[in-house]
Structures are given as C-alpha cells and as structure tokens.
Amino acid sequence: MKDQQKDVRLVKSAGSMPRYAIYCILIGLTGVIITFIALSHELGKPLVKRKGIELKSNLIPASRPVPANAWKAPAENTIPAGKAGDAIRYGRELLAHTAKYFGPKGTIAVISNGMNCQNCHLDAGKKIFGNNYASFISSYPKRSNRSGRITLPAERITECFERSLAAIKTPDTSGKEIKAMLAYMSWLGQNVKKGQNLFGNATEKLAFMNHAADPVKGKSVFLAKCQKCHGVSGEGLLAADKVTYIYPPLWGKHSYNDGAGMYRLINFAGFVKNNMPYGSTYQNPQLTDEEAWNVSAFVNSQPRPHKDQRMDWNDLKKKPIDFPFGPYLDTFSEKQHKYGPYKPIKEAQKALIDKKS
Ligand code: HEC
Ligand code: HEC
C-alpha cells in the first residue's frame, strides 16, 4: 500500500516537470549518442591505421613500401632443362635441405649441426633482406676482410659450413655438391652486375641506436615473440624424423658457433627485423628496430659452440665493429663491440683508417 502511494507521487512529480527541461534532456541524450557512435567507429578501426596509439609493450612498426626496382629472384620455371638445369636444381635442394645430406643423420656425410642453409638464407636465398645470395657470385672472388686472402666462392660456402653449421669437416670444394650450390647461386644472381647497388640485397643495415642493445629487455621480446617456435631454451624443434628442424635452434650445442655471421649483432638485428617472427617481411615488419636490437642481444648472450678464432682478422682495421672478441685497434671494450653503442666505435675506426691511409 505504501509503495503504491510512492509510485503515484513519482508520476505526479514527473508530470509537473516543465516542458523545456524535458527538451533539454532529449537534446543532451542525442549528443551523447552521436559522440558514442563516432567514437566506436574510430575504435573499431584496425590498430595499425589508428594514429597516436602506442601500446607500450607492443609497438606496431610502420609498414614500408618496397621500391619497384628492388631485387627479384628469377622465376624457378626458367631453370633450364637438361644437365645444367639438373645441377641448379640439385644445388637448390642441398641449400634448402642441408641437414638431410650433411646433418647428424646425413646421407652424404655426417659433418654439420642439423641446420639448413635455408634456415638463415630464407626461401633458398631468394627473399629480399632475407640474407639472400643476390650479389654473392658477382662479387667473388674477393679479398676476405677476415683472412686477408683472395677467397673463391667455393671457399666462402665452406666458411658458412664451419661457422653457421658448426661443421667438423667441410665438403670438398671441387666436389659435386659445392659445384651444384654454386650453379644455383650463379643462376640466382644472373642479372646482378659486380658492385651494383641493389635494394633488398643480403640483410638490411638498421640505423644504430644511441645506446647499447639490452639483453634483459630482449628476453621479454624473446618470450613474447620467439619462444613459441624456437623453444624456451632456444633449442628449436626437431621434426618427427629427427633429421631436420621444424624450428631451428637459436642457441645451445646445435646452433651456429660464435664465429658465425649471425653472432654479430648488426647481421642478426637486420635479419630478425625483416624476417622474424616467421612470416615478417621488409614491407610488414613485426618488431621495432629497438626490439630487433634487444632480442639479438639476448639471443647472442646465450651459450653456443665456440670456434677458435685466433687466426682470424690479421688486419685489425678490417675487423667488423660488432665483432665481440678482441684485440681491437681502438680502446672500446669487448662488451661495447658486442652490444653497442656503435656510433663512437664507427667514428673511431674511420678516424684510424683516415690517419693510416
Ligand atoms: C645461422 C645462420 C646461417 C646459416 C645456417 C648459413 N649461413 Fe651463410 N651467412 C649467414 C650470414 C649472417 C651471412 C652474412 C655474413 C657477413 O656478412 O658477415 C652469410 C653469408 C653467406 C655467404 C656470402 C654471401 C655474400 O653475398 O657475400 C654465402 C655464400 C653463404 N652464407 C652460404 C651459406 C651456405 C651454402 C650455407 C649452408 C651450408 C649457409 N650459408 C648457412 C648466416 C648463415
Ligand atoms: C612462427 C614460428 C616462428 C617464430 C614466432 C619465430 N621464428 Fe625464427 N624461425 C622460424 C623458422 C621456421 C625458421 C627457419 C626458416 C626456414 O628454414 O625457412 C626461423 C629461423 C630463425 C633464425 C635463423 C636460423 C637460426 O636458428 O639461427 C633466427 C636467427 C630466428 N629465426 C630468430 C627469431 C627471433 C629472434 C624470433 C622472435 C623475434 C623468431 N625467430 C620468431 C620460425 C619462427
């Protein structure tokens, strides 16, 4: 009974509300609805298209256009028929499935760590900024910065066997296999002239940061964006046949050794920026430059096989600035050579070379 009386009072008071007040409320409500529709439209847009929104833990790098004159590998269906073509195809097969022939269960020899050349030279060396072989053949033979000797293309291949594939022995440089790899690489670089400036060649050189790359921050990147494939201990994932990797190892005893190109941060950072997580491209990278540098620092601070490199780099002027083992001509520490900042080292190196020449 009491409740009923209360309701009556409420109705009465509403009825006595002046008309202009009701109009005001209606106009206000319309405003709120219009603002809400506009906002939800903006929020519904895909993240990348929204400007000015940065998720602190997950920055989305901008997409980058690929210029029309970027390097393109020749189409596979242009590999000729017959003997010459057979060698090219065999070379391609060896680069893509190296472990099958030379790994721990290799059918030709048991010499390498189970990785494939293609694990680092993506798409059999055809991908732009995927550590491709575009300009390899045209630039060889050349004087090696490391040994100071004129190096033949076949010898350069054995260097990746010894370091990236941590091989205990290398295939015979005049054997059928190395010849086939060279046949494929020549076919791949057939349109590239010596010294030609190619967009997309080998690996992108990222701009140097002003500070050192940080392995601790890199660990967070690794856990968020790499470990689901490469494993929490960087061990990779072997296929069921135990012959080859589905996801290759990033460190540990089956990974590249500390004399390999990937052990140098500038190579690693440029590689992951354009290619990792798997499926990334120059056009659509998934890491910021900073994340790429940091994750490189983390991975390369983990244990891996050691290579005796005391005979390397006779000419210290030619030693890459990110090579993490001394001696150096400059006074920067091994730590700074390994993680940066690189700008001061680069400048010091330039000054030294200018003085000597
Ligand atoms: C762990 C990654 C990795 C693996 C596996 C690997 N490479 Fe490499 N390779 C590199 C990197 C990084 C460079 C660039 C090195 C540098 O500039 O110092 C390179 C450079 C080369 C070059 C020189 C390219 C040029 O344009 O000068 C050749 C040729 C090559 N690799 C062949 C091979 C072959 C053949 C295999 C397999 C037997 C192989 N690589 C396996 C990482 C790898
Ligand atoms: C979706 C799975 C996946 C994710 C995620 C991923 N990778 Fe990879 N990664 C691969 C595969 C597959 C290859 C070998 C590619 C091939 O053989 O064609 C590879 C190759 C590599 C290589 C060269 C080979 C080696 O083992 O040294 C490096 C270095 C690498 N990844 C680093 C990273 C880093 C750093 C991240 C995180 C930022 C990452 N990857 C995330 C699948 C992945």
Average pLDDT rounded to a whole number, residues 241-246: 95
Top-confidence residue, 290 or 44: 290
**What would you report as the CA-atom Rg of the chain, rounded to the nearest whole angstrom?**
29
Average pLDDT rounded to a whole number, residues 282-308: 97
Residue keyed to tokens 């030379």:
102
CA–CA gap between residue 142 and residue 140 (Å, rounded): 5
Average pLDDT rounded to a whole number, residues 236-264: 97
- What is the model's pLDDT at position 17? 55
Which residue has the least CA distance to atom 13 on ligand 1? 261
Mutate to test the pocket of ligand 2, among 230, 287, 298 (most ligand atoms within 8 A of CB): 230
Check the CA dihedral 132-135-140-142 and report its sign. negative
- What is the model's pLDDT at position 3? 45
Average pLDDT rounded to a whole number, residues 280-303: 98
pLDDT confidence bin for 28, thresholds 50/70/90: low
- What is the model's pLDDT at position 49? 35
- What is the model's pLDDT at position 1? 40
- In eight-state DSSP terms, residue 127 is S
- What is the model's pLDDT at position 58? 59
pLDDT confidence bin for 90, thresholds 50/70/90: very high
pLDDT confidence bin for 26, thresholds 50/70/90: low
Q: Is 154 in the pocket of ligand 2 (CB under 6 A)?
A: no
Q: Is 23 in the pocket of ligand 2 (CB under 6 A)?
A: no
Counting ligands in written order, which one lies closest to the CA of residue 278? 2
Residue keyed to tokens 């209360």:
6
Average pLDDT rounded to a whole number, residues 174-182: 98
Asked if residue 11 has pLDDT above 80, the reply is no
Ligand 2 centroid to Cα of residue 84, in Å, is 33
Ligand 1 centroid to Cα of residue 160, in Å, is 5
Asked if residue 245 has pLDDT above 60, the reply is yes
pLDDT confidence bin for 310, thresholds 50/70/90: confident
CA–CA gap between residue 156 and residue 147 (Å, rounded): 11
Asked if residue 4 has pLDDT above 60, the reply is no
From the CA of 161, give the closest atom in ligand 1. Answer: 38
- What is the model's pLDDT at position 356? 63
Check the CA dihedral 238-241-246-248 and report its sign. positive
Average pLDDT rounded to a whole number, residues 231-243: 97
Least confident of 127-136, 140-149, 214-223: 140-149
From the CA of 165, give the closest atom in ligand 1. Answer: 5
Which residue has the least CA distance to atom 8 on ligand 1? 160
Q: Is the distance from CB of 182 to CB of 173 less than 8 angstroms?
A: no
Ranges of beta strands (E only) in 11-68 are none
Asked if residue 2 has pLDDT above 60, the reply is no
CA–CA gap between residue 130 and residue 353 (Å, rounded): 31
